[in-house]
Structure 1
Amino acid sequence: MSELDVGPIDYLAVEFPDGQLKGEGLAAIIDLVDRGIVRVLDLRVVRKELDGTLTAATVADFDGDGVLDLAVFSGIESGLLGDDDMQDAADLIEPGTAVAVLVWENTWAGPFVSAMRRAGAEVISSGRIPAANVIAALEALEAEAEAEAGETVGA
C-alpha cells in the first residue's frame, strides 16, 4: 500500500430540475479547494433532453454573468467517473433536467490516514450518513428534549 497522503474519496449527484445550472453553490467548492480541504477529481454534467437523449454539458459560466469563473473546473476528469457512472446518474433524473456529478478527495484526512498507517493501523471501513438523516435525528432529539423539559416544568 502506498504511503501517499490520500484522503477518502466521495461523490454526489445533484439534479437540476429545470435543466439549468447557474453555478450557484460552486463558490463553496472553490473555497474548499482554495483552503486545501478538498480536491476536485471529477465534475461532469449531463442533460437529459425531453426525448430522453443525453447531452454532455461543458462546465463553464453557466449563466453567462461572469460572476463565478467556473473555468477552474474545466477539464477536471481523473478517470474515476466513467460514462457508465454518468448513465447511472442520468437514469435517476427526468427528461428536461440535468445532473451534475462531483467526485472529490477529502484532502484534510490524508495526513491523518497516513499517520494511522505508519502507526500500524488500517482504515477498514468508511461511510456517509445522508444529511437528511442527520437533520431528522437532530430534530427528533430536540423534540424529545423539549418534551422532557415540559414534563419537568409541569411535574
Structure 2
Amino acid sequence: MTDLDDQLGDELGPIDYIVVEFPAGQTRLTGEAAAELAALAASNTIRVLDLMIVYKAEDGSIEVDEVEDIDDLGELAQIEATLAEVLAEQDLIDIAAAMDPGSAAAVLVWENTWAAPFAVAVRRNGGQLIASGRIPTQALIASMTNEGE
C-alpha cells in the first residue's frame, strides 16, 4: 500500500479535476471562487486532493506554486490539511503547454465525497466504472435553447 492509499483509504468517491486559466494580471484564485471552493470542502461535498497554481511566462518558462507556498490563502487555508498531492510534474508540464504565455492557471483535483457511499457500494458488488464524461454547461444551455426552435 502506498502513502496515497494510506491518505485516501478504500472508500473513495469519484475523482475529478479542472484547470482554470487566468489572463495576465488576474492570477489569483481569490474572492467569490475561493469562498465557494472553501464552502464545498467545509460541507464535505468535496475533498480537495490537490491545488496548484501554474504560471507561464511570456518566454514559455513555467513556475508552480503549491497551496502551502501561497501567501494569504484566506478561506482556502482550511483545505491544506486534506491535500494528497496527486499531481505529477509531467501533469503540470502538459497543462502549461495548453496555457497562453503570461497567464496563470489554478489546477484543482478533488474527490466527490458526496458520491463515495454509492461508489463503495458499487465496488463491493463487483461493479467497476467503464465510462465517465462531462457535458459542458454551454452545450447543455445551447441544446435547451435550440429545442424551442
TM-score band w.r.t. shorter chain: 0.7 to 0.9
Greater percentage in helix: 2
Contact 1:48 1:55 in 2 (8 A): yes
2:134 maps to 1:134: no
**Partner residue, 1:151:** none
Larger mean Cα displacement after TM superposition, 39-48 or 18-27: 18-27
2:65 maps to 1:87: no
Paired with 1:53 and 1:119, the residues of 2 have a C-alpha distance of 48
Contact 2:34 2:75 in 1 (8 A): no
What are the ranges of 5 or more consecutive residues in structure 1 without an aligned counterpart? 148-155
Contact 2:37 2:76 in 1 (8 A): no
What are the ranges of 5 or more consecutive residues in structure 2 without an aligned counterpart? none
Paired with 1:95 and 1:76, the residues of 2 have a C-alpha distance of 31
Deviation digits for residues 109-146 of structure 1, max 9, x if unmatched? 110112233445433322222222222222223xx1xx
- The partner residue of 2:30 within 23, 30, 55 is 23
Contact 2:44 2:114 in 1 (8 A): yes
**Partner residue, 2:123:** 117
Contact 2:35 2:75 in 1 (8 A): no
Shift, 1:40, TM fit: 0.4
Shift, 1:71, TM fit: 2.5
Paired with 1:9 and 1:105, the residues of 2 have a C-alpha distance of 4
TM-score relative to the length of structure 2: 0.78
Please list, as runs of the form range in 1=range in 2, the aligned pairs for 1:3-152 lying within 5 A after superposition.
4-19=10-25, 20-24=27-31, 25-59=33-67, 60=70, 68-74=74-80, 77-141=83-147, 144=148, 147=149
Rate the CA distance shift 1:74–1:121 in 2: closer, same or farther, 3 A: closer
Provide the alpha-carbon RMSD of the alignment: 2.6
Shift, 1:38, TM fit: 0.4
Rate the CA distance shift 1:58–1:82 in 2: closer, same or farther, 3 A: closer
SS in 1 for 2:98: coil
Residue-pair matches, total: 138
Identity %: 41
Paired with 1:33 and 1:11, the residues of 2 have a C-alpha distance of 15
Amino acid at match of 2:88: G
TM-score relative to the length of structure 1: 0.75
| Structure number, greater radius of gyration | 1
